[in-house]
Structure 1
Amino acid sequence: MRLTTLCSLSAAFVLTGCAVGPDYRAPELPAMPQTFKHDAGWQTVRTPLLEDGNWWKAYGDDTLDALIAELEAANPGMAQAAARLRQAEAALRGARAGFSPTVGAELSARRSGTADGVANSYDGGLSVSWIPDLWGRVRRAVEAGEAELAGSAADLAALRLSLQASLAQSYIRLRVLDLQRELLLQTEAAYTRSLQLTQNQYEAGMIARADVVQAENQLEGVRAQLLELVDQRAMAENAIAVLAGQPPSSFGIEADGSLLALPAVPSALPGELLARRPDLVVAERRVAAANARIGVAQAAWLPDLTLGLSGGYRSGSFADWFEAPNRVWALGPTLAATLFDGGARAATLDDARAAHDAAAEAWREAVLAALQETEDAFASLRALEARAAQQARVVALAEENERLVTNRYRAGQVSFLEVVVAQNGTLAARRNALDITRDRLQASVQLVAALGGGWSVPAE
């Protein structure tokens, strides 16, 4: 019996080196380009923007820094993702417990009766059992758990980056709205002066009442735009409050007339996205977890060997329970296998293989989407840079035209209608310039997010 037990133990230790199921290999990707198409010719630079992870500091705004810190500390979505990460850690510990033996204890007192009489039974003992991981079922489960844990960590990073980008874009929008308001206030003051001028000229009999009405209409139109901006700013501020984990009713950002600095365009290679973008790491780790579950499903077809050892005392009298004749023990291996399950194991294996194929295709899709997002961001920045230069020329021409038309009006050479058209053209050009500035800043945030925001896969 001892020889049999030793042979079983030796065989178990040898077989635990085996693991059924395919070893993980990352699925093939579409051909990765050597460079991005739309950043060709740009003066892209290596900056700390994508190295230390604190990408928002490149915009040089202390309020944005404080808001990002509040997001990190109080955003409910971040707290949920952190809880899911702890779940993955617990699941991994549970999977690793399969490597350890199980120790149990039992203590019982029974009184039973038959036709022959009544008898007492007192039992107590300890038992140790261990199921060697003959076919790698536990190891594959642990492998899947490790992949899920890494994926959960990357998922937390992906959510953090997404929320940071959303907050930064909302903050940019709010700051540009403040600048729009300053512009409209300046325009309101200018239109008020124009109205006073037309009223003076009307009272002097130099112009018709229609010019005064046009000036009044123009002024009231600007005031209506100011009221619209108040509503837009309130919504932007409320969005920032929720992202920062604060109730909108007790949250506020003072207007200071400042604008974020536009950082240099960071350089990157397409292949670096695989390590920089946490969402791609999430997708790839899901493939690894699905691959490991194939091995778990295949191990269900093979028998399990259980090595057991138990010992204790059994007696009909509590007084002599611990005496030597009442000691009992058991030692030996047990080999068990399922012979028929109606196709359940085959269905589980097919399900695992299909899940792996789906995860692999999802990863390929995510990589293509990441390349598209990055190319879109580069293309948008390039187009907006050209638009900004062009719009600056438009603003300069509109201002010059307004100055000339106003001088001609003062000289009585044109009607006030031409002044109104020129002033509205200048206002529209200036507002368009601010819109383009906003779009450039937001596109730079999109580029940072598309490049992974400085996050990268830990070395381990």
Structure 2
Amino acid sequence: MKSDSKLSRPWRAALLPLVAALVLVGCATAPAELPAFNTPAQFKEQAAPQAEGTWTRAQPAESQPRGEWWRAFRDPVLDKLVERAAANNTSIQSAAARLAEARAVLRSTDADRAPQVGLGAGASRQAGLDRNQSNRPSTLITAGVDFSYEIDLFGRLSRASDAARLDAESREGLLQSTRLLVQAETAQTYLSLRALDAERALVRETVGAYRDTLRLVQRRNQAGDLAELDVVRVETEVAATESEALTLDRRRAELEHALAVLTGETASSFALETQDWSTALPTIPAGVPATVLTRRPDISAAQKAVFAAQSRVGVAQTAWFPSISLTGGGGYASSDIDHLFKWSARSWGIGALLALPLFDGGRREAGVQSANAQLDGALANYRAQVLGAFKDVEDQLSSLRILEQQSGVQGRAVASASRATTLSDSRYRNGLVSQLDLLDARRQELQNRRQALQVRSAQYQATVGLVRALGGSWETPQAVGAATPETPAQIATR
């Protein structure tokens, strides 16, 4: 019994580091999961009066459908452009490639957890292989199978795999974010182009009116009723307004080229015909819950980045514990290739390796500190994404509210300016007012009509901006259905 006890002491001493590591393994547990953030029940711009401090718990919902929100504008051309952008946009393709790369890294990381088996063969020539032939050189030929497997006793490999999986999920969220961004940019660029078409038509119509006035003034000048100064004034207005029309033509060409890039086509082969602006303006219903922000792709990606950083903290902590690997191999070795696969030439071996670093100059501690710093940065970025999301939504909601009021006021300004032009034209033809009065009235009408179009265009832009800020369509299972969209003509007559 004493002899057995003495023999077991060396084994006990050898196992002490492993036992200590097992006791300390609890220190390397993964950090707690990211808590769900608190959000107000509704956005400030849409919320009814409620008690201060009314909050709701918002859980991540990145899998919630975002819907084909652009179809609410009821414009077939816009639908086709968004579909072409989804298929050919280079930004989406680049984000998809980064996602594929992240998934490949995940598969590579998962492979480290599986047994590694390989075939090997070799030939070497050296002296001293055959003891019977002194130091005469001889040849050794080998062929066999190698096996290795690392026991993931302390979770290093599993946590590395978790981090890679979360990185891939984060990339997937960024891909969805890129898709939404491209959809929104396509819609906003197209709507800007249609608004510009309407403005160009208005300016061209004004040029035609100025030319009619110019012909009248020229006839009166030839009859001696008006001086040349009156003719020159009208000619100036015609030329200046034509110049503005050409400026709008240049801006339209730039928007058309931008659409070509968004849809993945060359600007030289892309063309979009001018047509009436009949796109409907969806009405965002009141009561959209603030919890829809949990499906925003960028918030989802930021959250996955936090989880990945947490897993990497665990990976860094496992550097303090030993690594255990099993190895094995079997095959044949012979100095004569004719005898290589004979039974007498067989060879095999198995082994186990335990490695526990004792002193590394603080490298492991620095690794843990670096992982914790990355986690702190990921948490700060996640909070910044949430705060930025609320800002984006509130900005667009306030813009829509104010633009609706501005549209009504601007509509009254257009009506008054149009009436003033009609009266001035009648009085000018009857000689009751000067030409300057008529030109000023027309100039004011053009300015107010163009401003009304710009306000209307801003309403469309803010609607798309709100869709982007919400992370997709406002029509969610928790939200009230949208009202019937309004057309530009309906907006103009409100």
Tell me if TM exceeds 0.5. yes
Whole-Å separation in 2 of the counterparts to 1:226 and 1:320: 93
1:394 aligns with 2:413: yes
Is the deviation greater in 249-258 or in 367-376? 249-258
Whole-Å separation in 1 of the counterparts to 2:436 and 2:313: 77
Q: Percent identity?
A: 37
Q: Which residue is 1:269 aligned to? A: 289
1:232 to 248, 251, 270: 251
Q: Which residue is 1:45 aligned to? A: none
Q: Which runs of 5+ in 1 are unaligned?
A: 43-49
Secondary structure at 1:185's aligned position in 2?
A: helix
Whole-Å separation in 2 of the counterparts to 1:410 and 1:41: 56
Tell me, yes or no, if the aligned pair for 1:21 and 1:296 is still in contact at 8 Å.
no
Whole-Å separation in 2 of the counterparts to 1:118 and 1:410: 120
- Residue identity matched to 1:86: A
- Residue identity matched to 2:75: D
1:111 aligns with 2:118: no
Q: Which residue is 2:39 aligned to? A: 32
Whole-Å separation in 2 of the counterparts to 1:453 and 1:257: 27
Q: Which residue is 1:156 aligned to? A: 175
Tell me, yes or no, if the aligned pair for 1:24 and 1:288 is still in contact at 8 Å.
no
Tell me, yes or no, if the aligned pair for 2:400 and 2:459 is still in contact at 8 Å.
yes
Q: Which residue is 2:199 aligned to? A: 180
Pair 1:321–1:410, CA change in 2 (3 A): closer
1:255 to 271, 274, 278: 274
Tell me, yes or no, if the aligned pair for 1:21 and 1:292 is still in contact at 8 Å.
no
Tell me, yes or no, if the aligned pair for 1:36 and 1:269 is still in contact at 8 Å.
yes
Tell me, yes or no, if the aligned pair for 1:278 and 1:455 is still in contact at 8 Å.
no
Whole-Å separation in 1 of the counterparts to 2:140 and 2:222: 119
User: How many residue pairs were aligned?
Assistant: 435
- Residue identity matched to 2:85: L
Q: Which residue is 2:115 aligned to? A: 101
Whole-Å separation in 1 of the counterparts to 2:279 and 2:474: 23
Whole-Å separation in 1 of the counterparts to 2:212 and 2:144: 100
Whole-Å separation in 1 of the counterparts to 2:473 and 2:367: 40
2:30 to 13, 22, 32: 22
| 1:93-134 C-alpha deviation (Å, 9 max, x unpaired) | 111112211112222333322453333323232222211111
Q: Which residue is 1:294 aligned to? A: 313
Aligned ranges for residues 129-148 of structure 1 at < 5 Å? 129-148=148-167
Give TM-score scaled by structure 1 length.
Answer: 0.89
- Residue identity matched to 2:114: S
- Residue identity matched to 1:101: P
1:346 to 365, 372, 389: 365
Q: Which residue is 2:490 aligned to? A: none
Secondary structure at 1:108's aligned position in 2?
A: strand
- Residue identity matched to 1:242: V
Tell me, yes or no, if the aligned pair for 2:326 and 2:353 is still in contact at 8 Å.
yes
- How far residue 386 of structure 1 moved from its aligned partner, in angstroms, is 0.5
1:212 aligns with 2:231: yes
| 1:204-238 C-alpha deviation (Å, 9 max, x unpaired) | 33333322222221111211111111111111111
Aligned ranges for residues 412-427 of structure 1 at < 5 Å? 412-427=431-446
Q: Which residue is 1:124 aligned to? A: 143
Tell me, yes or no, if the aligned pair for 1:176 and 1:259 is still in contact at 8 Å.
no
- How far residue 263 of structure 1 moved from its aligned partner, in angstroms, is 0.7
- How far residue 258 of structure 1 moved from its aligned partner, in angstroms, is 2.2
Is the deviation greater in 360-369 or in 333-342? 333-342
- How far residue 271 of structure 1 moved from its aligned partner, in angstroms, is 2.4
Secondary structure at 2:40's aligned position in 1?
A: coil
Higher relative contact order (CA 8 A, sep 6+): 1
- How far residue 331 of structure 1 moved from its aligned partner, in angstroms, is 2.6
- How far residue 21 of structure 1 moved from its aligned partner, in angstroms, is 3.6
Give TM-score scaled by structure 2 length.
Answer: 0.83
Q: Which runs of 5+ in 2 are unaligned?
A: 1-10, 50-63, 129-133, 476-494
Whole-Å separation in 2 of the counterparts to 1:183 and 1:51: 40
Pair 1:51–1:349, CA change in 2 (3 A): closer
1:314 aligns with 2:314: no
| 1:359-378 C-alpha deviation (Å, 9 max, x unpaired) | 10001011000000000000
Q: Which residue is 1:46 aligned to? A: none
Secondary structure at 2:44's aligned position in 1?
A: coil
| 1:153-175 C-alpha deviation (Å, 9 max, x unpaired) | 11011011111111111111111
Secondary structure at 1:248's aligned position in 2?
A: coil
Q: Which runs of 4+ in 1 moved over 6 A?
A: none
- How far residue 316 of structure 1 moved from its aligned partner, in angstroms, is 3.6
Pair 1:388–1:98, CA change in 2 (3 A): same
Is the deviation greater in 419-428 or in 199-208? 199-208
- Residue identity matched to 1:22: A
Is the deviation greater in 74-83 or in 370-379? 74-83
Is the deviation greater in 349-358 or in 298-307? 298-307
Q: Which residue is 1:81 aligned to? A: 95
- How far residue 414 of structure 1 moved from its aligned partner, in angstroms, is 1.1
- How far residue 35 of structure 1 moved from its aligned partner, in angstroms, is 1.1
- How far residue 52 of structure 1 moved from its aligned partner, in angstroms, is 5.2
Q: Which residue is 2:6 aligned to? A: none
Q: Which residue is 2:430 aligned to? A: 411
Pair 1:323–1:191, CA change in 2 (3 A): closer
Tell me, yes or no, if the aligned pair for 2:109 and 2:160 is still in contact at 8 Å.
yes
Tell me, yes or no, if the aligned pair for 1:39 and 1:379 is still in contact at 8 Å.
no
Tell me, yes or no, if the aligned pair for 2:66 and 2:472 is still in contact at 8 Å.
no
- How far residue 325 of structure 1 moved from its aligned partner, in angstroms, is 4.1
Whole-Å separation in 2 of the counterparts to 1:368 and 1:309: 55
Whole-Å separation in 1 of the counterparts to 2:340 and 2:377: 61
Tell me, yes or no, if the aligned pair for 2:288 and 2:474 is still in contact at 8 Å.
no
Q: Which residue is 1:305 aligned to? A: 324
Whole-Å separation in 2 of the counterparts to 1:231 and 1:331: 77
RMSD: 2.4
Secondary structure at 1:423's aligned position in 2?
A: helix
Q: Which residue is 1:372 aligned to? A: 391
Whole-Å separation in 1 of the counterparts to 2:237 and 2:146: 92
Secondary structure at 1:125's aligned position in 2?
A: strand
- Residue identity matched to 1:368: L
Whole-Å separation in 2 of the counterparts to 1:255 and 1:325: 88
Aligned ranges for residues 431-446 of structure 1 at < 5 Å? 431-446=450-465
1:69 aligns with 2:69: no
Secondary structure at 2:282's aligned position in 1?
A: coil
Q: Which residue is 1:280 aligned to? A: 299
- Residue identity matched to 1:256: Q
Tell me, yes or no, if the aligned pair for 2:294 and 2:300 is still in contact at 8 Å.
yes
